[in-house]
Amino acid sequence: MTDITRDKPAAGIGLFEKWLSVWVALAIMAGVGLGHGFPGAFSALASLEYASVNLPVAVLIWAMVYPMMISVDFTSLARVSDKPKGLVITLVVNWLIKPFTMAGLAVVFFEFVFAPFIEPEDATQYIAGLILLGAAPCTAMVFVWSQLTRGDPNYTLVQVAANDVIMVFAFAPLVAILLGVTDIAVPWDTLILSTVLYVVIPLLAGIATRLWLTRGHAKPVGDARVSAFTGRVKPASVIGLIATVVLLFGFQGDVILERPLVIAMIAVPLLIQAYGIFALAYAAAWAWKTPHRIAAPCALIGTSNFFELAVAVAIVMFGVNSGAALATVVGVLVEVPVMLSLVALANRTRRLFPET
């Protein structure tokens, strides 16, 4: 992995933020090692959940998202409709392309390419897990990726909100169609709780903080106070990301060490899907002359997954020890390294896009 912030000033964190990808790589190794060495401790942390949402991870994601939510200026949200290109690209990629390409790649690799190496029943399970990932666009982590590419926080919020609304109505029938079944048990409590934890609560906290910082001050002074405050709390966002990586890889430390070949096989279509979807969305944004602060987040939203929902649905439908659940967990494992590499690419290609 490379320096993800070469084109971005390292305000507030300096060297730590500049070499974030290095710290993430170390966190991955630390997570695997700690998970293998102290399984009891990580089992205890994994058990702290409600509606299949892990509460320690939720707190850490909240720490990541909160600084960006402070930057959301609701007075400018009304102007999002003036530049609909990014929203159109996001919705088309997430709902008309991504689920179907993920299903296609899953079938190609597990019914043909890897067929000689795995049992047919296992192949079916892995395909199901990959379909669940492909049908669940990201909700929380995209705020982090948007912040790292200097994305427009207001526009990113609108993109995420639009996806959440569509997901409530489209996720179950879309998965049902792709799996070829008619009765999908979607854990709505997980979907609703995740949205509240990862979007609503940080957003309300950000609004309250912004109002407190700008109250009684003219816009230039108020905006300066907001920028200064977000600079001070920004380290919490990066530390939250590092700690989340340690926890996620710690939870699956033994699985990674015990079944590396299966993990690698599941990762192949996920990697092709991630880089392919990003290339498609990013190229569409470039061709449509979309500003980079909108183009980068809209491509990253389509690339990342709502892995909490995918894991929960896989467990409900197929069981905690199923191949489908394992496939969704692999999605969690590849998410952060892949997204960091795409953030690096987006930052290095900023000059190819218009600024406004």
Strand, helix or coil for residue 50: strand
pTM here is: 0.78
What total number of domains does the chain contain? 1
Q: What is the mean pLDDT of residues 40-44?
A: 90
Quick one: which H or E segment has residue 252?
Answer: none
Distance CA 191, CA 188 (A): 5
Q: Is the pLDDT of residue 3 over 70?
A: no
Within a domain: 4: no
Type of residue found at 165: V
Task: State both tokens at 56.
Answer: 């320690």
Task: State both tokens at 163.
Answer: 């996806």
Distances in whole angstroms, Cα of residue 27 to Cα of each of 21, 46, 96, 116: 10, 18, 35, 35
Arithmetic mean of pLDDT over the chain: 82
pLDDT in tens, 65-83: 787 778 776 666 566 677 7
Distance CA 52, CA 63 (A): 20
Within 8 A by CB and 6+ apart from 10, the residues are 17, 18
Within a domain: 1: no
Within a domain: 86: yes
Distance CA 55, CA 49 (A): 5
Within a domain: 272: yes
Quick one: which H or E segment has residue 22?
Answer: helix 20-37
Q: Could you tell me if 218 and 224 are in contact, meaning their C-beta atoms sit under 8 angstroms apart?
A: no
* Residue 319 pLDDT: 67
Within a domain: 3: no
| Owning domain of residue 164 | 15-352
CATH number at residue 181: 1.20.1530.20
Within a domain: 66: yes
pLDDT in tens, 293-308: 999 999 998 898 887 6
Within a domain: 313: yes
> Of 75-79, 162-166, 324-328, which has the strongest mean pLDDT?
324-328
Q: Could you tell me if 72 and 154 are in contact, meaning their C-beta atoms sit under 8 angstroms apart?
A: yes
Distance CA 246, CA 224 (A): 34
